[in-house]
Amino acid sequence: MDSLPSIGVKFNGDLMTNIIQTQTNPYFYATLASPVNAVTGDATVYTLRWDTLTAGSGYNTGTGLFTCSVPGEYLFIGVIYVTGLTSSHTTAQAAFVVNTTSYQIADFRPSTGRTNTNTMIFTPCTLSVLMAAGDTLRMDMVVYAGTKVVNFDTLSTLTGVRLPS
């Protein structure tokens, strides 16, 4: 049996901190240092902005945009940890948006899926997509049918990596 080619995976514990790190494959790993409060719940679409670039490059913590510098196929993995859900919230959705094309990657019913502490974890949210130099990617979240009390918590992460060709 042939062995699989190495793509430089560095294991540091859990899946979201296993970052593919090679000089020929651009990557980034973004985290959230502080919670972002009351961003959705009333059908407001919120662009997730991880405020800390833990590793790699290409992700802008101010805008929430990853800008592709090397064309190729990219894999993005997001974990969204949401708090503040109430029984009135009917639908929660997450999407990756590449330039202007939206890819819905999660669709949940908070009224039945939230925990007794009013939290919900969207995980893993993944997208594999071909990108050209200059293309951008962001991640949006929206929660419907309640008030704007839904929070984006610090356990949330976003990872992106150009896959080997």
15 φ/ψ angles, rounded to the nearest 5 degrees: -55, -45
Q: Do the domain assignments include residue 6?
A: no
Which of 157, 130, 143, 12 is closest to 75 using CA atoms?
A: 130
Q: Do the domain assignments include residue 57?
A: yes
State how many domains the chain has. 1
Q: Do the domain assignments include residue 19?
A: no
> In the predicted model, what is the mean pLDDT of residues 48-55?
94
Say if residues 120 and 108 touch (Cβ distance below 8 Å): yes
* Cα gap 96→114, rounded to integer Å: 22
How far from the centroid of its chain's Cα atoms is residue 144's Cα? 19
CATH of the domain at 60: 2.60.120.40
152 lies in which domain range? 27-161
Q: Do the domain assignments include residue 76?
A: yes
Q: Do the domain assignments include residue 20?
A: no
Peptide bond into 124 cis (omega under 30): yes
For the stretch 39-48, pLDDT in tens is: 999 999 999 9
Look at residue 30 and tell me whether its pLDDT is greater than 70: yes
pTM value is: 0.83
> In the predicted model, what is the mean pLDDT of residues 14-23?
43
Q: Do the domain assignments include residue 129?
A: yes
24: pLDDT confidence band, cut at 50, 70 and 90?
low
